[in-house]
């Protein structure tokens, strides 16, 4: 029995993303959130993952390390709970159907923390703008990311926004900005669709879909876990992303 309806599969092919909605249970989300917070709070020898701090972290007086953290990287490689999330059968079932193959592997993950009041933006970009080693096939896709909402995700607290159909243009030019992020060039952002999700809700997007998110100035933090998968035949043809 297919996991997705024909309508959902068609929307992904046409738009380059799918807002799937609720998928994971509250206990699963709570466990993942606790591990994410612990990893974001750890310092010195206890720090087990690569971390990027908020750009203005040094000026955030009285703010915990957890809430100065902007991004965690490759969490599944060191944490059993997040590793289990990356192998979650419900997520993998959808990814395999979107990729039209059962031969799919975990590629990488990251957490965007978006702390309350000062969580920074994520620039408009394509994932394949950062990854240079794997050919970003359009259909079927070579790389798909599942974005998992750990908190309630709204337009106010900085939800991801996706530009429909932008994946069909392939990898577009990107320019570095003063925020140390890449910014996609030549894209009309006026059609961007907000990806609003409850805790445990998920969306899926193609590696060439243009997306970004605004800062979080609300009292409500917005953590999101991005789990990325690659087709095994694409992995054999290419190399692991370099950045």
pLDDT score, position 44: 86
Contact between 131 and 231 under an 8 Å Cβ cutoff? The reply is no
Nearest to 167 by CA among 187, 146, 194: 187
pLDDT score, position 239: 42
pLDDT score, position 243: 33
Sign of CA dihedral 123, 105, 32, 205: positive
How many Å apart are CA 215 and CA 35, to the nearest integer? 23
pLDDT score, position 83: 97
pLDDT score, position 209: 98
Tell the residue number behind the tokens 């907000």, with chain if given.
Answer: 194
Burial status of residue 9 (CB atoms within 10 A of its CB: 0-12, 13-18, 19 or more): middle
How many Å apart are CA 232 and CA 209, to the nearest integer? 21
Q: Looking at domain 6-237, which of 2.40.128.20, 3.30.70.20, 2.60.120.620, 2.60.40.1580 is its CATH number?
A: 2.60.120.620
pLDDT score, position 2: 65
Contact between 35 and 109 under an 8 Å Cβ cutoff? The reply is no
**Could you tell me the residue ranges of all domains in the chain?**
6-237
pLDDT score, position 237: 52
How many Å apart are CA 114 and CA 216, to the nearest integer? 6
Give the chain's residues under pLDDT 70.
Answer: 1-2, 235-243
Residue 34 to residues 31, 54, 236, 239, Cα–Cα distance (Å): 5, 20, 35, 33
Q: How many residues does the chain have?
A: 243
Residue 120 to residues 54, 60, 124, 136, Cα–Cα distance (Å): 7, 13, 13, 28
How far from the centroid of its chain's Cα atoms is residue 154's Cα? 15
Name, in order, each residue with C-beta under 8 angstroms of 85's C-beta and a sequence gap of 6 or more. Answer: 24, 28, 32, 76, 91, 148, 225, 227
Q: What is the pLDDT of residues 3-53, one digit of tens each?
A: 899 999 999 999 999 999 999 999 999 999 999 999 999 998 788 999 999
What values do phi and psi take at 90, rounded to 5? -65, -40
């Amino acid at each position: 029995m297919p996991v997705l309806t024909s309508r959902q599969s068609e929307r992904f092919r046409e738009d380059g993303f799918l807002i799937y909605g609720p998928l994971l249970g509250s206990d699963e989300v709570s466990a993942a959130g606790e591990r994410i917070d612990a990893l974001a709070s750890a310092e010195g020898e206890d720090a087990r993952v690569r971390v990027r701090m908020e750009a203005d972290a040094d000026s955030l007086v009285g703010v915990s390390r957890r809430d100065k953290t902007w991004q965690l990287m490759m969490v599944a490689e060191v944490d059993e709970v997040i590793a289990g999330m990356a192998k979650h059968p419900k997520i993998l079932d959808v990814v395999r159907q979107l990729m039209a193959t059962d031969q799919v592997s975990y590629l990488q993950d990251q957490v965007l923390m978006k702390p309350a009041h000062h969580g920074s933006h994520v620039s408009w970009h394509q994932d394949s703008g950062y990854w240079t080693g794997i050919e970003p096939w359009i259909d079927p896709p070579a790389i798909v990311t599942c974005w998992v909402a750990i908190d309630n995700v709204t337009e106010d607290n900085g939800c991801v926004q996706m530009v429909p159909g932008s994946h069909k243009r392939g990898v577009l030019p990107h320019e570095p900005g003063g925020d140390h992020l890449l910014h996609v060039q030549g894209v009309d952002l006026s059609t961007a669709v907000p990806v609003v999700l409850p805790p445990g809700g998920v969306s899926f997007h193609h590696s060439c879909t243009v997306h970004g998110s605004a800062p979080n100035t609300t009292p409500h933090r917005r953590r999101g876990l991005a789990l990325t998968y690659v087709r095994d035949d694409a992995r054999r043809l290419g190399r692991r992303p370099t950045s």
